A and B are shown apart, each in its own frame.
Chain A
Amino acid sequence: MHIVVCIKQVPDSAQIRVHPVTNTIMRQGVPTIINPYDLFALEEALRVRDRFGGKVTVLTMGPPMAEDSLRKALGYGVDAAVLLTDRAFAGSDTLATSFALATAIEKLHQEDPVHIVFTGKQTIDGDTAQVGPGIAQRLKLQQLTYVSAIRDVDSAGKSITVERRAEGGTQVLKTTLPCLITMLEGTNTLRRGSMDDVFRAVRSEVRTWSARDAGVEDITKCGLRGSPTVVKKVFAPQPRMEKAQQIDALGKSPAEIADETINMLFTASNQLGDDILKLTEAI
């Protein structure tokens, strides 16, 4: 069985700062990480391989330095890695990104038939959750989003049964392979790479593909030109002018502060008391 996992290298947004004057992102020195949601996809792919046999290929589209994230993935025991990098991809929105990734997966499929494609639920920088479904539609793969568990993959590699997080419950779905799975977060814990894998990761080959290498014929479907959406404006959220009205706590006991707070809330909203009475009626 051949499993492909799409991972993205993203800036560690917990450490992103916005320039106070120019309102632009200060990227310098912001470390990059593998998109945290993709780690659940990575681990699940490795588990499927360990249970049912086969190999795992990681794929990323990004600048040359995205190779780092592929090496990290190799350190967890992934079998092969492909870096899709080309200036033609710059400025891709989700439609163009899924086009490029789907083309590369098609090429991998020709080398060694692909059974399952995994993606994360979403990225922390793009944050759209659209690239997975985009790949599935382009490659005509069965689309299984928000998967929380893989119950079974039949031995012939023909069908798969999964649990999927739906509104108000869990769907148990059975479908044919090949399929695309977007993995829900918190569903597994990433293994520690073995010493062997960690050493291998340093030496392993990372295949680097340009758009042409990946088999892209129509370059206008990539990057800015292949992106129907246009970002026209980036701005910082409006700070609110009035600050919170402080309850004077100086020298008062918690009970006194609490009383004063309730008075203030009840003065601000004469409905609040009735609302609470209604809400607590059932209890």
Chain B
Amino acid sequence: MTEKKAAPAAPTRASAKKELPEHFKDYKHVWVFIELERDEVHSVSWELLGEGRKLADTLKVDLCAVVMGPPGEGLEKAVRESWGYGADVTYVVADPILADYRTQSYTEGLETLINTHKPEIILLGATTLGRDLAGSLATTLKTGLTADCTGLEIDDGSLAATRPTFGGTLLCTIYTLNFRPQMATVRPRVMAMPDFTEGRSGKRIDFPLNIKENDIITKVLEFIPDTTSDKVNLAYADIVVAGGMGLGSAANFQHVMDLARVLGADYGGSRPTVQKGWIPAERQIGQTGKTIRPKLYIAAGISGAIQHRVGVEGADMILAINSDPNAPIFEFAHYGIVGDATQILPALTKAFEQRLSKMRKAG
């Protein structure tokens, strides 16, 4: 019955909700939760600082970062970088308990910080960590949360969060009018990476975590890092080659991998190729897979359904190869080849190989 997410609310209802209760009026500033795990910051956090900057400038308020984690150089580096990526103020919650992500410690820590410093907007990455935390936090704060946004704007002082709905066939814009903070998550790579300003500095506010290990019910017995072969960095690849059902068989996926290898690219595919078992699930591109933002995206034998499209639209250049001149992919690709992908791909691989080896020789 969450139908409401798709059906427009009656306008009277929306306007009736307009007046922000008095006790929420001192909620101010835009916050971005910086996702720090094992000393690494997830790039989505920097992407969100870039987006948060625009919101903060429109509202004429501060952009603040929240860095939580165990004390140490990893945390200090994250704090410095948060300023470099645009934060004016950085809240720091440093405690050894935060070494491993756990819902309880992070929710309680962030909740106390929010209730003390009262932000009007808080943005988190739509990662496994971010979604776990955002979902839990929004419930404890009893406020609105819009998941997986593809656009954030300020409309008449409120956050207007746009997200796909109905399997990506439509978009909807959602507001949290009379509750604070307004919360939203955004998937990695949906927003562009902001510029980094070396040496830019900001204000630092340390905040304690008043939780003891004994209070935390869930224990981490072990962390098993992904082996390098499992590590698919598709979302951050500069060039991506992908295949769809038009390839006809798992064996033909080799053509995609060959071209990817020659270009130093990563490879992926449409959802049905994953469902068929041609490629592993981490390589699915699209609304229910990875969002990519490469400089060049080559899609072979992919029809270009809306759920695929939303995951690739951030690419600088899209080249589509499809035997059907009316395939929807030609509506958003920049370049198109009407032809048989199983012939064009090997030809491209060979031609690139020759061209690149010439360039290498020429130095």
Q: Is A145 an interface residue, CB under 8 A from the partner?
A: yes
Contacts A171-B100, A258-B347 given: A128-B356 contact, CB under 8 Å?
no
Residues of B bordering A, CB below 8 Å: 1-9, 13-14, 17, 35, 37-38, 40, 42, 100-101, 103-104, 107, 127-129, 131-132, 134-136, 138-140, 142-148, 160, 164-167, 169-179, 217-226, 231, 238-239, 261-265, 281, 295-296, 306, 309-310, 316-320, 325, 329-339, 343-344, 346-348, 350-352, 355-356, 359-360
- Can you list the 10 inter-chain pairs with the closest CB atoms, starting with the nearest? A279-B264, A133-B135, A13-B167, A228-B144, A244-B336, A254-B347, A258-B351, A258-B347, A229-B144, A137-B139
Question: In whole Å, how far is B145's beta carbon from the nearest beta carbon of chain A?
Answer: 6
Residues of A bordering B, CB below 8 Å: 11, 13-14, 16-18, 23, 25, 61-63, 89-95, 97-98, 123-134, 136-138, 142-146, 161, 165-176, 185-186, 224, 227-237, 239-240, 243-247, 249, 253-255, 257-259, 261-262, 264-265, 268-269, 271-273, 275-283
Contacts A176-B217, A255-B347, A257-B337 given: A230-B14 contact, CB under 8 Å?
yes
The residue that B281 contacts in the complex, of A137, A167, A186, with Cβ under 8 A, is: A186
Kindly list chain A residues whose C-beta atoms are within 8 Å of the C-beta of B355: 262, 273
Contacts A90-B3, A269-B317, A279-B238 given: A261-B337 contact, CB under 8 Å?
yes
Residue contact A98 to B139, C-beta cutoff 8 Å: yes
A272 nearest in chain B by CB position = B296
B38 nearest in chain A by CB position = A168
Residue contact B223 to A229, C-beta cutoff 8 Å: no
Question: In whole Å, how far is A4's beta carbon from the nearest beta carbon of chain B?
Answer: 18
* Cα separation A14 to B103 with both chains bound (whole Å): 34
* Cα separation A192 to B342 with both chains bound (whole Å): 38
Question: In whole Å, how far is A234's beta carbon from the nearest beta carbon of chain B?
Answer: 5
Residue contact A14 to B167, C-beta cutoff 8 Å: yes
Kindly list chain A residues whose C-beta atoms are within 8 Å of the C-beta of B143: 95, 228
* Cα separation A275 to B146 with both chains bound (whole Å): 37
Residue contact A18 to B170, C-beta cutoff 8 Å: yes
* Cα separation A48 to B110 with both chains bound (whole Å): 34
Residue contact A254 to B37, C-beta cutoff 8 Å: no
Residue contact A230 to B6, C-beta cutoff 8 Å: no
Kindly list chain B residues whose C-beta atoms are within 8 Å of the C-beta of A271: 295
* Cα separation A169 to B37 with both chains bound (whole Å): 11
Residue contact B317 to A244, C-beta cutoff 8 Å: no
The residue that A232 contacts in the complex, of B160, B238, B334, with Cβ under 8 A, is: B160
* Cα separation A145 to B134 with both chains bound (whole Å): 12
Residue contact A90 to B1, C-beta cutoff 8 Å: yes
A184 nearest in chain B by CB position = B128
Q: Tell me the number of A-to-B contacts counted with CB atoms below 8 Å.
A: 331
Residue contact B359 to A25, C-beta cutoff 8 Å: no
The residue that B135 contacts in the complex, of A130, A244, A276, with Cβ under 8 A, is: A130
A90 nearest in chain B by CB position = B1
Kindly list chain A residues whose C-beta atoms are within 8 Å of the C-beta of B42: 167
Given contacts A11-B166, A232-B160, A246-B330, 9 further A-B contacts (CB under 8 A): A128-B148, A131-B135, A173-B219, A230-B177, A244-B333, A262-B348, A265-B296, A279-B264, A283-B264
Residue contact A249 to B337, C-beta cutoff 8 Å: yes
Residue contact B223 to A275, C-beta cutoff 8 Å: no
A66 nearest in chain B by CB position = B1
* Cα separation A281 to B226 with both chains bound (whole Å): 25
The residue that A173 contacts in the complex, of B174, B179, B218, with Cβ under 8 A, is: B218
* Cα separation A262 to B319 with both chains bound (whole Å): 11
Kindly list chain A residues whose C-beta atoms are within 8 Å of the C-beta of B128: 145-146, 165-167
Kindly list chain B residues whose C-beta atoms are within 8 Å of the C-beta of A261: 319, 335, 337, 348, 351
Residue contact B165 to A234, C-beta cutoff 8 Å: yes
* Cα separation A229 to B9 with both chains bound (whole Å): 10
Question: In whole Å, how far is B143's beta carbon from the nearest beta carbon of chain A?
Answer: 6
| Residue contacts A-B, CB under 8 angstroms, 29 given | A92-B1, A97-B1, A124-B167, A126-B2, A127-B164, A130-B138, A130-B139, A131-B2, A133-B131, A137-B107, A142-B104, A142-B217, A145-B128, A146-B132, A171-B223, A224-B13, A232-B8, A233-B8, A234-B7, A237-B310, A246-B330, A247-B337, A253-B347, A258-B351, A261-B335, A265-B319, A272-B296, A279-B239, A280-B263
Kindly list chain A residues whose C-beta atoms are within 8 Å of the C-beta of B320: 244
Residue contact A276 to B264, C-beta cutoff 8 Å: yes
Kindly list chain A residues whose C-beta atoms are within 8 Å of the C-beta of B263: 276, 279-280
Residue contact B225 to A95, C-beta cutoff 8 Å: no
B16 nearest in chain A by CB position = A230
Residue contact A134 to B239, C-beta cutoff 8 Å: no
Residue contact B1 to A257, C-beta cutoff 8 Å: no
Question: In whole Å, how far is A8's beta carbon from the nearest beta carbon of chain B?
Answer: 8
Residue contact B170 to A234, C-beta cutoff 8 Å: yes
* Cα separation A176 to B1 with both chains bound (whole Å): 31
Kindly list chain A residues whose C-beta atoms are within 8 Å of the C-beta of B169: 13, 16-18, 25, 236
The residue that A91 contacts in the complex, of B9, B148, B165, B177, with Cβ under 8 A, is: B9
Residue contact B335 to A264, C-beta cutoff 8 Å: yes
Residue contact B356 to A244, C-beta cutoff 8 Å: no
Question: In whole Å, how far is B49's beta carbon from the nearest beta carbon of chain A?
Answer: 18
